[in-house]
Amino acid sequence: MKSLFIVLFAMMMLNSCGQKPTISTATQVHIGKMKLTGDKEIDNQIINLTKSMENYMNEANPSYTQSDIDSCASILVDYTVNIYKTQSKQEGMETVKSAILKLNALNDKCQESLIETGEREQIAEIIILASHKMKYNSMDDDITEEWREW
């Protein structure tokens, strides 16, 4: 837990200096089985998304499993880590497209039940926020719309 605090503090300091965020594999952390990005704001959003999906899974009988929820979180973590490594908007948008296509396939596998309206909004916000932190778009620009099927 102490190392998580140090990583998150370092990330906040970098972000507060007006620099683009950078995350190396050395700064990735794990909580339980979940790999996180090291970006506190995005990690909190991913955790909230997975909790919401898990709560629904426990209350209803959707066509997805814990493994599907973990895959969704992993796609979002990988996306965030990868977009923070990009050097241009064009490279960033390729990273967005790749993540969206993976999420489309995962949602297809789950008979369109994994990503419903609420999840769509949360996932889009995570993707838009990470790209916005790289100064590739505004927060009002839905960069997911071109490729997403959910």
Kindly state whether residue 146 falls inside one of the protein's structural domains.
no
pLDDT of residue 21: 64
Kindly state whether residue 142 falls inside one of the protein's structural domains.
no
Burial code (b: 16+ CB inside 10 Å, e: under 16) for 25-41 equals: eebbbeeeebbbbbbbb
Kindly state whether residue 147 falls inside one of the protein's structural domains.
no
pLDDT of residue 20: 58
pLDDT of residue 59: 94
Among 22, 117, 109, 21, which Cα is nearest to 72's? Answer: 109
Kindly state whether residue 144 falls inside one of the protein's structural domains.
no
- Total number of domains in the chain: 1
Tokens of 30: 């794990």
Kindly state whether residue 150 falls inside one of the protein's structural domains.
no
Q: Are 49 and 122 within 8 A, CB to CB? A: yes
Sign of CA dihedral 127, 133, 136, 137: positive
pLDDT of residue 136: 98
Host domain of residue 80 = 2-133
pLDDT of residue 35: 82
Kindly state whether residue 141 falls inside one of the protein's structural domains.
no
- Tens of pLDDT along the chain (150 residues) come to 444 444 444 444 444 445 556 444 334 444 455 789 999 999 999 999 999 999 999 999 899 999 999 999 999 999 999 999 999 999 999 999 999 999 999 999 999 999 999 999 999 999 999 999 999 999 999 999 999 999
Distances in Å between the Cα of 127 and the Cα atoms of 81, 101, 139 are 11, 13, 10
Kindly state whether residue 93 falls inside one of the protein's structural domains.
yes
**How many residues belong to the chain?**
150
Kindly state whether residue 149 falls inside one of the protein's structural domains.
no
pLDDT of residue 19: 55
Burial of 7 (0-12, 13-18, 19+ CB in 10 A): buried
Q: Are 20 and 135 within 8 A, CB to CB? A: yes
